[in-house]
Structures are given as structure tokens and as C-alpha cells.
Structure 1
Amino acid sequence: MQSSPILVIGATGKTGRRVADLLEAGGHTVRRASRNAQTRFDWEDPATWTQVLSGVSAAYITYAPDLAFPGAPEKFLMLTEMARNAGVRRLVMLAGRGEPRAEICEEIIRKSGMEYTLVRAAWFAQNFSEGFLQEAVMDGTLALPAGDVAEPFVDIDDLAEVVVAALTEPHHVGQEYEVTGPQLLTFEEATAELSLWTGQSLSYQPITSEQFHDALTELGGPLLADVFTEVCRQIFDGRNAKLGNGVERALGRPPRAFSDFCARAAARGAWAKAA
């Protein structure tokens, strides 16, 4: 067991929260850092980085809002230099599959001079239950510019276990894990499965990139719309329509199925409407 803490950047997020909880359950000391945590870390404020990095043995790095945003590689380079100077020995980085800007940041990690593990994740299954699509699922219509492309939705609980193993076990150093679920599903097939567990009819509506951009512009402004529309153009072009073996390689077991995620989310009341 390590004596110095393990840093979790983005510890209030979907993956960071799970990683921190698992580490603590395993007896590890965790430094939970985010913009809203007691230990503050803000990617837009490098002045918050020094104290967060001081004295930690390893760090889990997630970037918000997304590695596709302008300036992400420069910040990654600055962070890795500061981490190395602070004596951090190991980095575990989360990235989206098939994103060119994420690949730039991965190369920065490889050249950091520290031990590293790269975790590339498929589309999160939990996006439907606790993420930005939860409301759409409850409203009954899922509109995305995904066409009929298939996606190997990954359960974040699997991803978190892979990250914890990489942070705490030596044989994951230098590994690059593509974490996915065990099957390819189109979004139409995923919505059909979700319908079985939400107790209501849920339909998938393919939309154009332009329609998606317009909707995002209303929600978050032009920069967010530009970045996420381009990300969707990339990841929904078929490049990710294949299974990865990261969960099996890291944990020695198969990944959880999408239907298993749906059952657990429904049991927790993820799609229960207020009376």
C-alpha cells in the first residue's frame, strides 16, 4: 500500500468519483481534486496545480470539458512537466477513442518520462442514466447525428476498475487499454434495450450534424457546438465500430453487457419520474 496519496483529477465527475471511491475502498489515500472540490484543481488556472501535485505518487488525469477543445495539448504538456518536477511517478490518462486531439495528448504522456497507462474509452453507457442524455431518455426521444453506426458502449464501472488497477499495480505500466463493452449496438438497438428498462417507449431519431450544431449552440454557445459537432463527425464515422479488449487484458474478466448496465440503472431509479 502506498504511503503518499493518489491524485484523482476530476473527482466529482462520472469516472473520477468512481475511481476515488474504489481506491478508498481498497485502503488507498486519495486526493480528490476538481473545480468544486475542497482540493481545487482548475484546468484554466495553472496556479491551482502546484499544491494539488505536491507529494502524490500517482495521478488519474481527465480533461474537462473535452480533449478536443483548443489548448488541451498545451495544458497537458504543462501539467506533465509540473508533475514530473513534483516527483509524481505514474500517470493514468483517460481519452476518447478515435479523437485526433486526444492522440496528441497521449503522445505527451508517453514522452513525459514518468510511468504511464493510457485508457481509451468507448461511449459511456452511463451517458444515458446520469449524463447529458438522461433527460432525453426520460422524454422518450434520443436525437443524435450517429446514423446507423454501431458503438461498443462501455460501462463506467468497468472503466473505473481498469483505472484503479493501472494506478496501483505495476504490470499495467506502459499499457494502452481500449475499454469497450462486449457487443456492438446501434443507437436504435440501444434505445430498444433502454425501452425495456425505462418502462416507456423510447425512439432514436437520427439528425444531421447541422441540426445537432444548432441545438448545441442554443444550449452552450458556438464554441461548444463547434467542438462537439466535430467530435461527433469523427467518432460516428465508423472508426469505433469495433470491440476493444482492454477490460479483459487489465482485469482478467469480460466487460459488463449493456443490458446489465440498464438493469442496474433502472434498479437505482435512474429513469424514475417524480410523482
Structure 2
Amino acid sequence: MTRKTDMTVVVTGASGRTGSRVASAARAAGLTVRPASRAQGFDWTDRSTWAQTLRDADAAYLVHPGDVGSPAATLAVGLLAHEAVSLGVRRLVLLSARGEEHARPTEEALRESGADWTVVRAAWFMQNFSEGPLVDGLRGGELVFPGGEVREPFVDVRDVADVVVGTLPAGDRYAGQSVTVSGPRLLSFGEAVAEIAKAAGRELAYRPVSAREYGARLAGFGVPPEEVELLVDVFDTLLDGRNAYLSDGVRQVLGREPRDFAEFAAEAAAAGTWRG
């Protein structure tokens, strides 16, 4: 197996939660990063912007801005993958969701493109508690979420990014494979909130609701009806206990243990993430 380190990697969502970390990890590994976001003229919904971003690159990290299980993601990932291959960019890594059946058509669209593909299936991100729509609830003292008492092996996005970058220069070692990543232990959402409260030094509550009730809250925040329906279905299935186990993808690719939730919570609390 020959490792290739003089690579130019297109990173979609380069300013987003995972893409920014993939870009940072890729630069740290000595790879050349070509950011692909609207700020750089790339748009997932405008195919005319794709070729200029992909041309002369060696690899690409694909993360769709919508849920990976949406029909829009399936269509766009398939089309982009085919265009990448036609331009000579055969090494493609897709971020997918562990246990999400809705994501399988998107993964299949990647496989059918003829690319040297890798799918990284990630557990629920630790950073969902520190970035995005859940943060406001925690800052207000209560997280309302349809997680019930199910246990999840929350994974640090930095580990996801390191795994993505670790698969890129490894020749064909991870081509045609799915790598599944999780954190090192299982926590319920209530237990996760308790660890955040301890790290932040304040009282926080967790209130579980049904997926349908949570969908109604999303609709009240202006989320489009079709997206609400998809998310309700995803939460109803993804949070049914099917993910209550550990995966060894971090150790498999990186040769080390994944970061622990307590480490994430301490760092985010020190940064003032959950101050009321």
C-alpha cells in the first residue's frame, strides 16, 4: 500500500461543523485543501459551480447541507460523485449517519458513481450540544429533545474529521469500505446533559418529548414541513436504541481511543458555550 501525501482535497461544507474540522485536520496532515462553500463559489444546488471546484483535485470530502437521508442529498451526492469521477477525482469520502436507514440510498448513489469511495458513518456528534439549535435550550437551562432514555456513544467531530483525513492518503486501504465511528462510552441524553451541567457549574434539565412533539416545535421555528416530516421519521427510528453500542472506527483508522464526552464538555464549558 502506498500512502499519498501530496494530495489536493476538495472539502465541501468547509465553513461548517464537520468540513471546517476536516479542512484543519487535512492541512495539519500536509494535504492541500480546496475549500468548497458558497463563499468560494461552490453551491450544492447549482451544478454549474461544481467543475471549477473539482477540476485537478485528487480527492473530495462530501457532506450535504441537508440530512444525508433526504432525497435531495441522494440526488446531489450521486450527481456530484459522477461529475467528480468524470473529471478524474476518484477518491471520495462521504459523511453518513450510523444507523440511519434513510441514508442508504445516498450511500448507494456514491457507490454507483464508479469512485474509489469510503463512507464514514458517525454516531451522534458531541458538538450538537455546543453548536447549532440545541445550544439555546441549554443556555436557557433546559434541553427539550426526543431522545428518551436511549443511550448513545456520542462522538467528537474532531475524531470524525481525523478519521476522514486518515482514510484519504492511505492508498486503496479504505476504498470500497464503510468506517463506523463512535465515542468510547454510552450515555443517555439525560446523562450527557448532567455531565454538561457539572462542567458548566450550573443546573440544567433534560425534558424528553416525542418525535412528533419535537417536530411541532421545529415547525414553530419555521422549519419547512417536508424537512420536519423527514426529521420526525429519522428521530423516531434513529433514537430507538439501535445505536446503543460502540464502534471501533477511530481505533481502526487512527490507532488511538476516541475522545471522551467529559473532555468535550470541559473544553466547551471553559469556552463559555453554555453560559445563561
On whether the aligned pair clears a TM of 0.5, the verdict is yes
> What TM-score, normalized by structure 2, do the two folds share?
0.93
Equivalent residue in structure 1 for 2:179, among 177, 181, 197: 177
Matches within 5 A, 1:10-29: 10-29=13-32
Structure 1 distance, partners of 2:7, 2:192, is 42
In structure 1, the residue matched to 2:113 is 112
**Aligned-partner SS, 1:118:** strand
Q: Which residue of structure 1 lines up, in the alignment, with residue 73 of structure 2?
A: 72
Whole-angstrom CA distance in 2 between matches of 1:169 and 1:237: 35
Task: Tell me how far apart the structure 2 counterparts of residues 204 and 3 of structure 1 sit (CA, whole Å).
Answer: 47
Match of 1:223 among 220, 223, 226: 226
User: Is residue 200–residue 266 contact of structure 2 (8 Å, CA) maintained in 1?
Assistant: no
User: Given residue 172 of structure 1, which amino acid in structure 2 is its aligned partner?
Assistant: Y
Instruction: Give 1:204's match in structure 2, choosing from 191, 203, 206.
Output: 206
Structure 1 position 233, deviation (Å): 0.8
Distance 2:169 2:271 in 1: 29
TM-score w.r.t. the length of structure 1 is: 0.94
What are the residue-to-residue correspondences of 1:27-46 with 2, within 5 Å? 27-35=30-38, 37=39, 39-46=40-47
Quickly say closer, same or farther: Cα 1:212–1:94, change in 2 above 3 A. same
Which consecutive unaligned segments of at least 5 residues does structure 1 have? none
- The answer for the alignment partner of 1:233 in structure 2 is 236
Report if aligned partners of 1:145, 1:209 keep a CA contact under 8 Å in 2: yes
Q: Return 5+ residue gaps in structure 2 as ranges.
A: none
Q: Within 2, Cα distance between the matches of 1:4 and 1:208?
A: 46
1:61 alignment partner AA:
L
RMSD over aligned Cα, in angstroms? 1.5
Q: Which residue of 1 aligns with 2:137?
A: 136
Contact 1:4–1:55 (8 Å) recurs in 2:
no
Aligned partner of 1:237: which letter? D
Counterpart residue type for residue 157 of structure 2: I
Q: CA deviation at 1:30?
A: 0.8
How many percent identity over aligned positions? 44
Q: Please say if residues 165 and 172 of structure 1, whose CA atoms lie closer than 8 Å, have aligned partners that are also in contact.
A: no
CA distance in structure 2 between the aligned counterparts of 1:3 and 1:148, rounded to whole angstroms = 46
SS in 2 for 1:223: helix
Equivalent residue number for residue 254 of structure 2: 251
Q: Secondary structure at the match of 2:26?
A: helix
Q: Structure 1 CA distance, aligned partners of 2:94 and 2:233? A: 22
2:267 matches 1:264: yes
Deviation at 1:91? 0.4
- Matched to 2:205, the amino acid is S
1:117 positional shift: 1.4
CA contact (8 A) 2:11 2:23 kept: yes
Whole-angstrom distance in 2 between the partners of 1:55 and 1:185: 44
Whole-angstrom distance in 2 between the partners of 1:272 and 1:25? 31
Displacement of 1:173: 2.4
> Which residue identity does 2:169 align to in structure 1?
T
Task: Find the residue that maps to 1:178 and give its secondary structure.
Answer: strand
Query: For the Cα contact (< 8 Å) 1:57–1:88, is it kept in 2?
Result: yes
